[in-house]
Amino acid sequence: MSSVPEAKKHRWLTFGLLALGLALLPFLVDAGLGRSWVRLVDLALLYVMLALGLNIVVGYAGLLDLGYVAFYALGAYVYAWLASPHFGLHLPFWTALPLGALLAALFGVLLGAPTLRLRGDYLAIVTLGFGEIIRIFMNNLNAPVNITNGPQGINLIDPVRLGEVSLSQTQTLFGVAFTGAHLTYYLFLLFTLALIFVSMRLEDSRIGRAWVAIREDETAAAAAGIDTRNLKLLAFAMGATFGGLAGGLFASFQGFISPESFNLMESIMILCMIVLGGMGHIPGVIFGAVLLTLLPEALRYTGDWQRSLFGQIYVEPADLRMLLFGLALVAVMLYRPAGLIPSARRRREFADAAE
């Protein structure tokens, strides 16, 4: 057993290596796998943010939300409204982004207020409905007044400008070239780290304990003095804020949004990320998000492998992806229902349920 100073040094070393790895990641990926993979890493970070947000709702408070993508959509559309030629508004990044998050939070409260008295399956159905309603609204609000531009979506969204620096152009610092994708990575990484920080602080606080209590036994929690209604609303609002932030970042990153990006499958995917990764556990959630974003892309290569090995494609990569995904879900549910990297608490919860 190492002494205390040794253990501390060990921690700092790990932390330092991790920080170095994260700082160099875009360059390593670019060199090893190519530019498109750097953009994929950026996308993965967006999904990490979304997964962290849903983790608060489902993982901490235990509220089954099947329409989480609605908040992602709201954040994205608000950003697009405020920073694109659509309404002719070009508000700066640090104004448009928080406004998107704020509207998403507002809708989180609006959705939650009448529905959070529902439990379990019924809440899931209602939230699923909400997710679809938002998507359908976005798809149809182009007449008589063109608010969302319907199925065509909103194009030419302003790229992020931080002061003088535009994230759409390659910038050179200290003689090193940072492409748009690289710069976006660092921006997204900062936001992701911030959201991780907020999640960790919430988890280990009066609010976090109250959420776990509500999840464990809502009646006992109320009898112990917890205003369950307000705390559930708070979980919803916090999750929605995370989603709205990710939405705004997505809009600025991709430059184009349409209702198609915000469908039910997205909500389910994000839920799968946290269920597979480890519900209620931040490392697990991050792992699940990264895995489910990058793995499907990796599976695309199986098309080429099959051709080089067998001369033809027996299983389409798209089908293979769905097949493996389904198998993975079933396997996890059978052998590790608490997730691949579960929190200690969850592992116990599932172990007891099995007994």
Partner 1 sequence: MSALLTVAGVSKAFGGLQALSDVSLQVNAGEIFGPNGAGKTTLFNALTGLYTVDRGEVRLGGARLDGRKPHQVLKAGLARTFQNIRLFAEMTALENVLVGRHARMRSGVLGAVLRLPATRREEADARARAMALLERVGIAGHARRLAKNLPYGDQRRLEIARALASEPALLALDEPAAGMNPAERAALCELLLQLQREGLTLLLIEHDVKLVMGLCTRLAVLDYGVKIAEGAPQAVSRDPKVIAAYLGDAVL
CA 118 centroid distance within chain:
25
Per CB under 8 A, 193 contacts partner 1: no
Per CB under 8 A, 49 contacts partner 1: no
Per CB under 8 A, 201 contacts partner 1: yes
Choice between 101 and 272, CB closer to partner 1: 101
315-352: burial string, b at 16+ Cβ within 10 Å, e else: eebeebbeeebeebeeebeeeebbbbbbbeebbebeee
Choice between 43 and 226, CB closer to partner 1: 226
Phi, psi of 156 (to 5 degrees): 55, 40
Contact set for partner 1, span 223-282 (CB under 8 A): 223-228, 234, 238
Choice between 165 and 224, CB closer to partner 1: 224
From 32, 164, 312, 352, residue interacting with partner 1 (rule: CB under 8 A): 352
Site string for partner 1, 173-192 (x = CB under 8 A): --------------------
Specify the stretch interacting with partner 1 by CB under 8 A; choose among 111-119, 138-146, 175-183, 211-219.
Answer: 211-219
Alpha carbon distance 92, 83 (integer Å): 7
Per CB under 8 A, 337 contacts partner 1: no
Choice between 9 and 348, CB closer to partner 1: 348
Choice between 73 and 105, CB closer to partner 1: 105
Q: How far is the CB of 119 from partner 1 (least distance, A)?
A: 16
Per CB under 8 A, 219 contacts partner 1: yes
Per CB under 8 A, 196 contacts partner 1: no
Alpha carbon distance 146, 204 (integer Å): 45
User: Which amino acid is present at 8?
Assistant: K
Residues present in the chain in total: 355
From 141, 196, 198, 264, residue interacting with partner 1 (rule: CB under 8 A): 198
Per CB under 8 A, 202 contacts partner 1: yes
- Positions touching partner 1 (CB under 8 A) are 197-198, 201-202, 205-210, 212-213, 216-217, 219-228, 234, 238, 345, 348-349, 352
